[in-house]
Chains A and B, each alone.
Chain A
Amino acid sequence: MRKAHLICFATVLAFLLLLTGMCFAENQESLPYYVSDTAGLMTSEEWRKLESTAENISEQYGCGVYIVTLQDYRDYGSYNNFWDFSEAFYTRYNMGLGEARNGILLIMSMAERDYSLLAYGRDAHYAFTDYGKNVLENRFLDNFMRSDWTGGFADYINGCGELLGRAAAGEPLDVSYEERSGLPDEVSTGIIIGLPLLVGFGACEGMRRNMKPVKPRSRADEYIVPGGINLSLKRDVFVNRTVTRTVIRTENRDSGFHGGGGTTVNSHGFSGHSGKF
């Protein structure tokens, strides 16, 4: 019975989304829920629980925490990629809370296992730094790999709560010094100690060599007779050719985390990235 209800709910939601998708760019509507599972990945009980948690967190911090699952985003129009669709979706459904439309959205398209994690609004960017989003992502992606959808969504919502809590306390999760430099402690220490020693030693050895310039000569360049070089044979024979093919590993999933601190916001006001799960 529950399953039937859920299928019915998902179908209606998908129909509504499809219907609105036809005039995506023209109208702006609001989604009625923080968690919209049109792909039917969770039971209604699970949905209710997640929706309730997402709602509480969103209202507590004034920043919408959204989950949207779709069967195939291409059903909603023609987009260059999933990220463009995700941005358009957020704008189209007027997501986010407050005047700044602060919010974070995890949107998934099951057809090709695409996902986007995007944030919008000043407060959301403050709370969800590039590094923070990367940490958050690592929490739910392992669940998704095991097709543990509800576990992944729960981790996502709870993670959002933690990040928003930290931001509210004035300490958003961001890269530490070691992570910013992209180098582990030992490497940083090695560079700070090793490189100066190496440069100092190289420079001093150069100066020391300058003090001992007496060397036997090994060449006789200056005694070559003008025009005295005669190259009698210059032969380059092709022997064989080998061809190797290697697959170019393309990383579709842009981790979005580039080592620096803070949040990278694009020209549309979004931060985040898309990838595959």
Chain B
Amino acid sequence: MPSQITNYQCPSCTGPLHYDGASGKLQCDYCGSSFTTAEIEKIYQAKLEEAEQAAIDEATQAGGENNAEEDWDSEQNIWDAKQDGMKIYNCPSCGAQMICDATTAATSCPYCGNPSVVPGQFHGMLKPDYILPFRLSKEQALDSLKKYYQGKKLLPKAFSRTSHLEEIKGVYVPFWLFDGKAVADTSYRATRVMSVPHGNEMVTTTEYYDVRRSGTVRFTRIPADGSKKMPDDLMDSIEPFDYTDLKPFSTAYMPGFLADIYDVDDKESFERAKTRSSTTALEILDSTVSGYSSVTPRERQVHVQRERTVYALLPVWMLTTRWNNKNFIFAMNGQTGKFIGDLPVSMGRYFAWFAGIAVPLAGILTVLLKLM
């Protein structure tokens, strides 16, 4: 039975290849040769098709009767894994069994370390339209983490010293990119107040206006991640990505990185894009109401029409550190380098800063009030 997994090997020495973001080529870890993605795609086309067919075959079999023979041959833990929605693959390099999430599309063998791609995960509707290749390396992600700690006044001193990096992985995260337009219609009650002194009286004229605004705002490629594993707020926080670098999807960009297929469909993800575009459209209309003393919104209606949806894999470095039995997750945009993550707060430092600001200020105020 053909393997569902492909690992890209160097055509020169059969060593494992990995995608290098800086050069935009696949490089051999052993002989140092480098190849363009087009070259590798050409060489591995047949193998990829074979792997994809194997996946389709397995899916067809799973749809029919249970393969009793396979069940009896499998070990109990593998059976359990299948029950949990996991998938089992054999590493084409060392033959070891790899148990992966049902959504895993690219990984590396935990035994031999060879990067592996599961082309079968990308057949049919699951095939992304685009991929945004990694531009930044693991070393740059580590550097960014160190820099990220700098200047954080409330960071516990011990954190940067004693926290240890649990995991760093480059992940192609499935994203839905939505095109659409928000059609908004709003009305306001506005007033314009003018006060003019007249003799010994102040004459205040208040004019009331009924204000209406309607308009459309077109959006393109609002991203919303389609992975349950990835925290939505973290993925939002590393935006924006530069879409001009988007490439037609190819698994050749994946060796050396992890990749998932989506497990949150476009319909569900669209709700997030819809909320964002509605808010922005209303704010744009609000900003056109000017020259008034007061503006009170009355009716606000927005209808967001979804137009084109693109499915793309976007590059994210995920870093996990552990400190005081707690995990801290950071994410770096694998293309732009935008780094973000929540950090622990030292309450000792918090109160030290508090006292450092409040006490001298109290002293200054005491002196100033005495002088007044």
Binding site for B on A (CB under 8 A): 177, 180-183, 188, 191-193, 195-197, 199-201, 203-204, 207-208, 210-225, 228-248, 250
Complex interface bits, B302-341 against A, C-beta within 8 A gives 1, otherwise 0: 0000000000000000000000000000000000000011
Bound form: Cα–Cα A242–B354 in Å: 50
- CB atoms of A248 and B236 under 8 A apart: no
Q: Which of A201, A221, A232 contacts B354 (CB 8 A)?
A: A201
- CB atoms of B340 and A214 under 8 A apart: yes
17 pairs of residues in contact across A and B, judged by CB atoms under 8 Å: A192-B369, A196-B359, A197-B358, A211-B154, A215-B233, A217-B236, A217-B276, A224-B220, A225-B220, A228-B216, A228-B217, A230-B216, A231-B215, A238-B207, A239-B210, A244-B203, A248-B197
Query: Smallest CB-CB separation from A201: which chain B residue?
Result: B354
- CB atoms of A208 and B240 under 8 A apart: no
Instruction: Judge if B273 is at the interface, Cβ distance under 8 Å.
Output: yes
Contacts of A188 in B (CB 8 A): 369
Given A177-B370, A200-B361, A216-B232, A232–B212 Cβ distance below 8 Å? Answer: no
Instruction: Judge if B362 is at the interface, Cβ distance under 8 Å.
Output: yes
Query: Smallest CB-CB separation from A188: which chain B residue?
Result: B369
Instruction: Judge if B214 is at the interface, Cβ distance under 8 Å.
Output: yes
- CB atoms of B204 and A219 under 8 A apart: no
Contacts of B190 in A (CB 8 A): 236
Contacts of B23 in A (CB 8 A): none
- CB atoms of B204 and A246 under 8 A apart: yes
- CB atoms of B354 and A231 under 8 A apart: no
Instruction: Judge if B160 is at the interface, Cβ distance under 8 Å.
Output: no
Bound form: Cα–Cα A215–B236 in Å: 7
Contacts of B219 in A (CB 8 A): 220, 223-225, 228
Contacts of B273 in A (CB 8 A): 220
Contacts of A211 in B (CB 8 A): 152, 154-155, 342-345
Beyond the given A230-B218, A247-B200, could you list 16 further A-B residue pairs with CB under 8 A, ordered by the A residue number? A200-B354, A207-B153, A207-B350, A212-B342, A212-B345, A219-B276, A219-B283, A223-B220, A224-B280, A228-B181, A228-B219, A229-B216, A229-B217, A231-B214, A236-B190, A237-B211
Complex interface bits, B272-304 against A, C-beta within 8 A gives 1, otherwise 0: 010111011001110010000000000000000
**Which residues of B from 209 to 240 have beta carbons under 8 Å from A?**
209-222, 231-234, 236-237, 239-240
Q: In the assembled complex, how far is the CB of residue A119 from the closest CB belonging to chain B, in whole angstroms?
A: 24
Q: Which of B204, B209, B353 contacts A238 (CB 8 A)?
A: B209
Given A220-B273, A223-B222, A229–B215 Cβ distance below 8 Å? Answer: yes
Q: Which of B185, B283, B366 contacts A192 (CB 8 A)?
A: B366
Contacts of B152 in A (CB 8 A): 210-211
Given A213-B342, A224-B280, A235–B372 Cβ distance below 8 Å? Answer: no
Contacts of B358 in A (CB 8 A): 196-197, 199-200
- CB atoms of B212 and A235 under 8 A apart: yes
Q: In the assembled complex, how far is the CB of residue B216 from the closest CB belonging to chain A, in whole angstroms?
A: 5
Given A203-B357, A213-B342, A234–B220 Cβ distance below 8 Å? Answer: no
